[in-house]
């Protein structure tokens, strides 16, 4: 039945292939929206966006953009970016824990896999204009959101930080000079509890304030038989306070402070399968486990059982403060955004993915601070408009890591034919890692908009960017007695030392990178009719070079390979064409886009068979190409019904990657190739087909003496299979899946609503990510998607 559902959804969506909002119109028809960014409530109303740093209709913006109104975010339970991807098919979100999170658009942005702090993210995440440099911010709950815009394609000539794949622009509700308040409480199975509240109003004639909070908790969905705990729970708290000073109609000053915390028992994996590698049979997972009398808690991953014996912790703290000044100066507006943000990350993981004490400690707590300053002037008069700005960014990261081998490590890593097999030579072997990064960049950017005729507009944009990264990585290694393991010039070591060096080799590198780059784009748009816009864009963009901060591979003498310390900048050539249309008296919207992105020196995240490189490292693939078609269709024939369908076809492949790491089935043997040519292979994490679709209907009703409406809503999504390894492997493909969410309830004209909901209604069993364990043992572990959840929400607005 699910296969038929996927086919039916694909056939429906393929007739209307993506670029703008299907959701901005999905709001309470009884509550006309007047504030910018909440979407249109009635047929024909514009959805206003700020994608080009000014308020304008999304249908007049020659950019591929999806818009999700705050009401739809709340109604569908899309309370973070992970949930948001179910509404926007071109957005991909993968997370094994908050730090190891990837947010990509059209399959591009950051390398799929373990995060490396030494590179930039290609998708910019902005909250009220403030750039968030770490994708960990994407794992937090949305807080008092007014609207979310997902822009696709390079955005460097308008946005503060250069972003080569797109941007997520989140706008929150702002302080008001009229009193307003809202609250929401949700409860559900698995002890789910969520509370949201916001209050806004005047403190004086020129000063207004707004305060918002959100709290989410839920029991875990995977049972750890070793610790007798449910893991993968939720424990989130978010707070935000804002002050608006408006001394005149031409000056606004907004001061914002926010703080969010997560402290779940997280993040673990389950056993999925074993791959057949080229290691000797007695050194593959089945034989290794049998030799120590071990069996996984379950060989069916959807039993949701694990037996991880390492400590699991994902303590996360993020917050900051900003000052935004908007000053109507002359014929335009000057905007200044000054911000400081911090992120403190305190994790513990089980990196061997088993219940055996192989790797008993794996933790890399990190402290990050960033400072940004953006200054821009926006002019829009008559036939000429422009945005000109400057952006400065500085980031400091300090990480202290500990990795330790346990009592099962020796027999797991040393052959039975080796005299050390029955020793404890690896037990207690400890690596202490010290990592730091100073990352600075500065840029000048601008975009001109010239209406050559009332129908024809051209928009050239430019950006001059400077980036500088200074990193340091040190790994010190100690045996169980606390003696330091050191490298020597003679490369002569005892058998015990050689065995230990094969696991952790001391390493000290200080990679550096700095460079200038010049980006530009050119867009032409033409109004074929008042409600028909066609456009074409070419963009030449760059993603800054990177440095490896998780350690790099070593040569035969255990010394770091210097050439692996840095990766080259990406060079991006992007082409796009689209059409935006409204018809049937603006009751229907159909938008289409076609794109192609060519990247030279693509920054790939690769895994190495050496145990000493547990966290993977960065390397340049020669060339990558992503191309595809996208479409959105939404319809609202009356205030009583609306529906949408969005679809995306994405073909993303390595055009040239001659020295990629080999998949597990080609690794581990004495004659195995050192690297593989995977030119033509698909990029990881990308489904060729993805769709989202939904509808909402309502009828007038009276309940408990209150006039309102009964409503029923549905939102679904489907995606085809995708690779979950940097190099495609027959063992690391994730099957496509469908998700279906329903809601039904009652709401009044006065702002009260009560409704029940069920998400993943048909209890689809699926993986979000598969991970290939180090050492070529063949073990494949997985992160599971959410199971069926249901509950009830009560909301009140005044």
Residue 494 inside a domain? The answer is no
Of 42-46, 613-617, 788-792, where does mean pLDDT reach its minimum? 613-617
What pLDDT does 616 receive? Answer: 63
0.75 exceeded by pTM: yes
**In the prediction, which pLDDT does 295 show?**
97
* Residue 419 CA from chain centroid, whole number: 47
The label of the residue with tokens 């085809």 reads 720
Distances in whole angstroms, Cα of residue 388 to Cα of each of 93, 385, 591, 648, 665: 32, 10, 29, 33, 52
Neighbours of 538 (CB within 10 A): 14
User: What is the pLDDT averaged over residues 449-455?
Assistant: 97
Query: What is the predicted pLDDT for the residue at 608?
Result: 54
Question: 303 in helix, strand or coil?
Answer: helix
- 746-766: burial string, b at 16+ Cβ within 10 Å, e else: bbbeebbbbbebbbbbeebeb
**pLDDT score at 82:** 76
Read off the pLDDT of residues 418-439 as tens digits, 9 standing for 90 and up: 999 999 999 999 999 999 999 9
pLDDT band with cut points at 50, 70 and 90 for residue 624: very high
Residue 247 has pLDDT above 80, yes or no: yes
* CATH number, domain with residue 344: 2.40.170.20
Does residue 161 surpass a pLDDT of 70? yes
- Write down the pLDDT at residue 53: 64
Q: What is the DSSP string of 720-753?
A: --EE-SSS--TTSEEPPEEEEEEEEEEEETTSEE
Q: Is the pLDDT of residue 17 over 50?
A: no
pLDDT over 60 (residue 584):
yes
The pLDDT of residue 551 is 85
In order of 132, 316, 321, 365, 426, the CA distances from 438 in angstroms are 16, 21, 21, 17, 35
Alpha carbons 176 and 521: distance in angstroms, whole number? 38
Domain assignment present for residue 493? The answer is no
Measured on CA atoms in the order 524, 525, 528, 532, is the torsion positive or negative?
positive
Who wins on pLDDT, 24 or 694?
694
In this predicted structure, the answer to whether residue 695 has a pLDDT above a threshold of 90 is yes
Query: Do the beta carbons of residue 163 and residue 124 sit within 8 Å?
Result: yes
Helix (H) / strand (E) element for 497: namely helix 495-501
Q: Is residue 24 part of a domain?
A: yes
pLDDT, tens digit (0-9, with 9 covering 90-100), for 483-523: 999 999 898 999 999 999 999 999 999 999 999 999 999 99
Q: Highest-confidence range of 34-48, 547-561, 608-622, 726-740, by mean pLDDT?
A: 726-740
Q: How many CA atoms lie within 13 A of 34 on its CB side?
A: 2
Name the burial class of residue 249, with classes exposed (0-12), middle (13-18) and buried (19+) by CB atoms within 10 angstroms of its CB: exposed
Q: Kindly report, residue by residue over 253-292, the tens digit of the pLDDT.
A: 999 999 999 998 889 999 999 999 999 999 999 999 999 9
Cα 186 to Cα 57, 308, 455: the distances in Å are 33, 32, 48
Mean pLDDT, range 720-742, rounded to an integer? 95
Structure tokens given for 197: 């509240």
Q: Is residue 183 part of a domain?
A: yes
As a whole-number percent, the residues of the chain with pLDDT over 70 amount to: 92
- Neighbouring C-beta atoms of residue 332, cutoff 10 Å: 19
Mean pLDDT of 542-562: 89
Give residue 45's pLDDT: 65
Q: Which residues contact 503 (CB under 8 A, 6 or more apart)?
A: 405, 409, 413, 426, 429, 611, 612
Give the CB-side neighbour count of residue 659, counting CA atoms within 13 A.
Answer: 6
pLDDT of residue 389 exceeding 90:
yes
- On whether the CB atoms of residues 555 and 520 are closer than 8 A, the answer is no
- 27 compared with 645, residue with greater pLDDT: 645
pLDDT of residue 407: 96
Residue range(s) defining the domain that contains residue 310: 2-400+430-478+503-700+710-797
421 domain residue, yes or no: no
Q: Which pLDDT score, from 0 to 100, does residue 71 have?
A: 85
| Helix %, strand %, coil % of the chain (to 5) | 10, 55, 40
- Provide the mean pLDDT of the chain: 89
- Please state the rounded mean pLDDT for residues 524-551: 95
Helices (H), 57-105: 70-75, 81-84
Among 152-161, 252-261, 387-396, 442-451, whose mean pLDDT is lowest? 152-161
- The CA distance from 137 to 715, in Å, is 25
714 found inside a domain: yes
Helix (H, G, I), strand (E, B) or coil at 48: strand
Tokens of 667: 């690794």
Through-space distance between the first and last CA atoms of the chain, rounded to whole angstroms: 44
63 pLDDT higher than 60: yes
What whole-number distance in Å separates Cα of residue 681 and Cα of residue 651? 10
Residue 393 dihedral angles phi and psi, to the nearest 5°:
-145, 135
Helix (H, G, I), strand (E, B) or coil at 287: helix
The pLDDT assigned to 42 comes to 42
DSSP 241-278: EEEEEEEETTEEEEEEEEEEEE--S----EEEEE---S
Does 83 have pLDDT greater than 60? yes
Q: How many residues does the chain have?
A: 798
Segment 779-796 shows an average pLDDT of 96
The band of 44, judged by pLDDT with boundaries at 50, 70 and 90, is low
pLDDT interval class at 138 (50, 70, 90): low
User: What gap in Å lies between CA 261 and CA 215, rounded to an integer?
Assistant: 10
Contact 552, 564 (CB under 8 A): yes
Q: Does position 135 have pLDDT exceeding 80, yes or no?
A: no
pLDDT higher than 60, residue 22? no
CB neighbourhood size of 94 (10 A): 22
Closest CA to 80 of 316, 276, 247: 316
pLDDT in the model for residue 73: 84
Confidence of residue 15 (pLDDT cuts 50, 70, 90): very low
With a cut of 70, say whether residue 611 has pLDDT above it: no
Integer Cα distance of 215 and 240 in angstroms: 12
Q: How many CA atoms does the CB half-sphere of 382 hold within 13 Å?
A: 4
pLDDT tens string 317-374? 999 999 999 999 999 999 999 999 999 999 999 989 999 999 999 999 999 999 999 9
Task: Establish if 786 belongs to a structural domain.
Answer: yes
- Predicted confidence band of residue 142 (pLDDT cuts 50, 70, 90): confident
Asked if residue 40 has pLDDT above 70, the reply is no
pLDDT band per the 50, 70, 90 thresholds, residue 553? confident
Decide if 741 is inside a domain. yes
Judging by beta carbons within 10 Å of its beta carbon (0-12, 13-18, 19+), is residue 4 exposed, middle or buried? exposed
Residue 12 has pLDDT above 80, yes or no: no
> How many domains does the structure of the chain reveal?
1
Q: How far apart are CA 359 and CA 612, in angstroms?
A: 12
Question: Does the structure show a pLDDT above 90 at 480?
Answer: yes
Helix (H) or strand (E) holding 520: strand 512-529
Beginning with the edge strand found earlier in the chain, give each strand of the sheet holding 166-172 in spatial order. Answer: 65-69, 145-152, 166-172, 123-127, 130-132
């Amino acid at each position: 039945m699910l296969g038929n559902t996927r086919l039916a959804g694909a056939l429906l969506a393929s007739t209307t292939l993506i670029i703008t909002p299907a959701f901005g119109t999905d709001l309470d028809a009884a509550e006309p929206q007047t504030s910018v960014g909440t979407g249109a409530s009635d047929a024909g109303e514009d959805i206003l966006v700020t994608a080009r740093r000014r308020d304008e209709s999304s249908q007049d913006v020659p950019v591929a953009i999806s818009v999700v109104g705050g009401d739809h975010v709340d109604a569908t339970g899309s309370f973070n970016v992970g949930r948001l991807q179910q509404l926007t098919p071109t957005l991909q979100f993968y997370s094994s824990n908050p730090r190891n999170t990837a947010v990509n658009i059209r399959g591009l942005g950051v390398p799929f896999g373990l995060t490396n702090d030494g590179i930039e993210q290609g998708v910019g995440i902005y909250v009220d204009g403030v750039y968030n440099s770490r994708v960990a911010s994407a794992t937090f709950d949305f807080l008092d959101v007014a609207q979310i815009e997902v822009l696709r394609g390079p955005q460097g000539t308008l946005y503060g930080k250069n972003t080569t794949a797109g941007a997520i622009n989140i706008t929150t509700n702002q302080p008001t000079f009229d009193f307003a308040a809202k609250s929401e409480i949700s409860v559900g199975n698995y002890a789910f509890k969520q509370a949201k509240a916001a209050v806004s109003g005047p403190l004086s004639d020129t000063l207004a304030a707004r305060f918002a909070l959100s709290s989410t908790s839920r029991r875990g969905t995977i049972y750890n038989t070793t610790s007798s705990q449910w893991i993968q729970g939720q424990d989130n708290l978010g707070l935000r306070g804002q002050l608006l000073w408006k001394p005149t109609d031409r000056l606004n000053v907004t001061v914002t402070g926010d703080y969010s915390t997560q402290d779940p028992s997280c993040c673990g994996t389950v056993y999925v399968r074993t791959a057949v590698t080229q290691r000797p049979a007695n050194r593959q997972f089945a034989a290794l486990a049998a030799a120590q009398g071990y069996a996984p808690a379950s060989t069916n991953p959807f039993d949701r059982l694990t037996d991880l014996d390492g400590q699991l912790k994902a303590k996360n703290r993020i917050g900051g403060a900003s000052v935004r000044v908007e000053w109507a100066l002359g014929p335009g507006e000057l905007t200044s955004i000054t911000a400081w943000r911090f992120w403190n990350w305190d994790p513990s993981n089980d990196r061997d993915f088993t219940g055996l004490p192989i790797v008993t400690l794996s933790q890399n707590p990190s402290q990050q601070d960033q400072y940004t300053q953006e200054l821009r002037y926006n002019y829009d008069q008559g036939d000429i408009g422009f945005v000109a700005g400057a952006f400065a960014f500085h980031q400091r990261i300090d990480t202290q890591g500990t990795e330790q081998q346990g009592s099962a490590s020796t027999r797991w890593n040393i052959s039975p034919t080796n005299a050390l097999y029955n020793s404890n030579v690896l037990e207690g072997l400890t690596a202490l890692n010290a990592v730091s990064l100073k990352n600075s960049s500065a840029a000048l950017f601008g975009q001109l908009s010239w209406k050559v005729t009332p129908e024809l507009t051209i928009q050239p944009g430019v950006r001059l960017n400077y980036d500088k990264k200074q990193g340091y990585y040190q790994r010190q290694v100690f045996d169980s007695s606390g003696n330091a393991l050191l490298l020597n010039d003679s490369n002569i070591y005892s058998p015990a030392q050689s065995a230990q060096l094969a696991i952790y080799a001391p390493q000290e590198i200080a990679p550096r990178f700095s460079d200038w780059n010049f980006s530009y784009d050119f867009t032409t748009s033409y109004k074929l009719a008042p409600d028909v816009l066609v456009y074409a864009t070419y963009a030449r963009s760059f993603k800054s070079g990177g440095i490896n901060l998780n350690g790099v591979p070593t040569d035969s003498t255990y010394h770091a390979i210097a050439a692996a310390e840095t990766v080259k900048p990406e060079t991006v050539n992007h082409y796009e064409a689209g059409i935006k249309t409204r018809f049937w008296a603006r009751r229907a919207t159909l938008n289409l886009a076609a794109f192609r992105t060519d990247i030279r020196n693509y920054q790939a995240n690769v895994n190495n068979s050496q145990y000493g490189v547990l966290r993977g490292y960065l390397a340049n693939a020669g060339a990558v190409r992503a191309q595809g078609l996208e479409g959105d269709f939404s319809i609202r024939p009356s205030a009583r019904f609306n529906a949408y369908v969005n679809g995306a076809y994405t073909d993303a492949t390595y055009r040239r990657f001659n020295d990629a790491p080999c998949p597990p089935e080609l690794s581990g043997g004495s004659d195995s190739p050192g690297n593989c040519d995977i030119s033509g292979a698909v990029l990881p994490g990308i489904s060729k087909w993805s769709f989202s679709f939904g509808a909402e209907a309502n009828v007038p009703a009276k309940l408990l003496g209150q006039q309102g409406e009964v409503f029923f809503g549905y939102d679904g999504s489907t995606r085809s299979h995708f690779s979950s390894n940097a190099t495609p492997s027959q063992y690391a493909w994730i099957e496509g899946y469908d998700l279906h969410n329903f809601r039904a309830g009652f709401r009044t004209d006065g702002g009260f609503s009560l409704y029940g909901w069920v998400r993943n209604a048909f209890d689809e069993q699926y993986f979000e990510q598969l991970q290939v364990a180090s050492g070529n043992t063949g073990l494949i572990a997985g992160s599971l998607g959410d199971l069926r959840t249901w509950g009830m929400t009560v909301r009140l607005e005044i």
